[in-house]
Amino acid sequence: MIHHEHKNAVILNVFFSICTAFLLLVQPCFANTSSDKNVVLVMGGSRIYTDVLAARSAAVSQCLLSAIEKTAIEMIPFAGLAEKFETVSDLLSGQRNNFISDYKVLKEVNTEKYYRVLVQVTVSSLKLEEALASAGIVISPENLPKILFLIAEQQVDDISPQYWWRKEKSFFQTDAAASSMKKIFTEKKFSIINDEILPYGLIEDLGLNAELTDDQAIEIGKRFNADLVIVGNAIAAEMSNRMGENIMTFKATVTARGLLTKSGEQIARAMHSETSVNRDISSGSSQALTDAGFQTGIALTLQILPKWQERMVKTGEITITINGTDILPYLVVFRNELKKIEGINSQQTMEMTPDEAVLLVKYDQTTQDLADALLMKTFDPFGINIYELSETALHIELFAK
């Protein structure tokens, strides 16, 4: 009898080991690999009158709506939110259940007068974006920055970090972490600079390596006309956890920061780690890097979007009227120099004739500051005469030297 029980126990252990190995080999499958699931932690509370359960339900309900509102605020430009507040408010409260994918009450406290809860809410960003767009709400702010990614990556089987800005660029393979980060930024309508076609000669004199300083990253960004650089590293390593001889565990950590090339200001920073299980070193470390990059990308966009919106709100519009004789050949040079002035966030040609052009620019400072900056510029083969200036306009004459 004892021998029979022992035999059954051995069989069960073998069966359990096989099942465990199978589960470890199966990679997680996400229903939607976009940034659809936005997980938000929210605190809420409700006054207890007579019914404790009713107070708990009210507190949770408050948290669900707050989570949706928080997600929407991160999506909508400041000006658009202020202008369409009533529409947005009605939409979020009226269709709340459509945007909640899942929620979990993590903590709850009954103080006899109040019922307070901490709730983890998963909001469907995709459904929320679709509903807002259908209501005529603009999701992404205008003139989003052009972004250059500077992420050095080291997989488990790499001897040293790999990065696209090295001299031996042709040997660099597409990196897993930055690719998944770029996917998130592209979904948010950012413009991504393709580093695969950038000439190394433009940065050869900088003497760069895998670890970039802020100054080096900003200088690279300026040379390739980026408004923002995402700089950092992505490193994968094999962990000690194993299943038998062949099944390995990998951990990847991505650290990145966002720097404005004009001012050098850091407007975002994120670090995220993910693990994966695989028999193959390359596949396992690549999957961990991809997952960590994906989450880091989400964290960065959530920081960058509202800060960029704030900049756009603060930015004033200035109309520049340019006239002269046959100025069209000079306009390209003028606009290129205008773009280099710190504080210029965008410029748009409103009218153009051989002898006159009207530009609309968004500028952080005053028209006097812009005029002073233009006077310091050297234009070839022409000069400028700023003959009229007001609070919102400049009138400039271009003349041949």
Model confidence band, residue 134 (pLDDT cutoffs 50, 70, 90): confident
Dihedral, 321, 324, 327, 331 alpha carbons, nearest 10: -30
Interval 101-116 mean pLDDT:
91
Average pLDDT score over residue span 208-236? 93
Burial of 22 (0-12, 13-18, 19+ CB in 10 A): exposed
**Beta strands 146-154 and 228-243: pairing type?**
parallel
Please report the pLDDT score of residue 16 as a whole number: 42
**The pLDDT value given to residue 172:** 52
Kindly report, as residue ranges, where domains of CATH 3.10.129.140 are found in the chain. Answer: 37-134
Rg (CA), the chain: 28
Average pLDDT over residues 257-270: 92
Distances (CA, A) of 301 to 158, 195, 278, 304, 309: 29, 20, 30, 5, 12
pLDDT 10s digits, 145-161: 889 999 999 998 888 89
Higher pLDDT pick, 87 / 134:
87
If you average pLDDT over residues 28-52, what whole number do you get? 71
Contact 285, 250 (CB under 8 A): yes
Comparing 140 with 241, the larger pLDDT belongs to: 241
Residue 22 predicted with pLDDT over 80: no
State the Cα–Cα distance between residues 88 and 100, nearest whole angstrom: 16
Q: How far is it, in rounded angstroms, from Cα 385 to Cα 158?
A: 58
Question: What CATH number labels 146-311?
Answer: 3.40.50.10610
* pLDDT tens for each residue of 345-372: 888 888 888 889 889 888 888 888 899 9
Confidence of residue 312 (pLDDT cuts 50, 70, 90): low
Is the pLDDT at 326 greater than 90? The verdict is: no
pLDDT for 169 beyond 70: no
In the block, tokens 């979007």 appear at 305
Does the predicted TM-score (pTM) go above 0.85?
A: no
pLDDT of residue 17: 44
CATH 3.40.50.10610 residue ranges in the chain? 146-311
Q: What is residue 395's predicted lDDT score, i.e. its pLDDT?
A: 94
Calpha distance 275→250 (Å, rounded): 5
Protein fold of 315-400: Alpha-Beta Plaits (3.30.70)
pLDDT band at 19; cut points 50, 70, 90: very low
| Residue 235 banded pLDDT, cuts 50, 70, 90 | very high
Chain center to CA of 240? 33
Q: Name the residue with higher pLDDT: 242 or 393.
A: 393
Give yes or no for a contact between 318 and 361, defined as CB atoms under 8 angstroms apart. Answer: yes
Q: Which pLDDT value is given to residue 221?
A: 93
Q: 70-74, 298-302, 368-372 — which is least confidently predicted?
A: 70-74
Q: pLDDT value at position 289?
A: 93
Mean pLDDT in residue range 10-36:
40
CA distance 203 to 150: 13
Percent of the chain with pLDDT over 70: 84
3 state DSSP class of 279: coil
Is pLDDT of 6 > 50?
Answer: no
CATH code of the domain made up of 37-134: 3.10.129.140
Distances (CA, A) of 334 to 152, 226, 341, 370, 382: 36, 19, 11, 13, 10
Q: What is the pLDDT of residue 151?
A: 96
The whole-angstrom separation of Cα 303 and Cα 258 is: 9
pLDDT at 25 over 60: no
* Pair of tokens at residue 56: 């708990």
pLDDT at 18 over 80: no
The answer to whether the beta carbons of residues 151 and 233 sit under 8 Å apart is yes
Under 8 Å between Cβ of 57 and 45: no
Is the pLDDT assigned to residue 195 strictly greater than 80? yes
Burial (0-12, 13-18, 19+ Cβ within 10 Å), 83: middle
Question: Span 296-313, mean pLDDT?
Answer: 81
Domain(s) labelled CATH 3.30.70 in the chain stretch across 315-400
Cα distances from 200 to residues 14, 51, 148, 232, 401, in angstroms, run 56, 69, 14, 19, 36
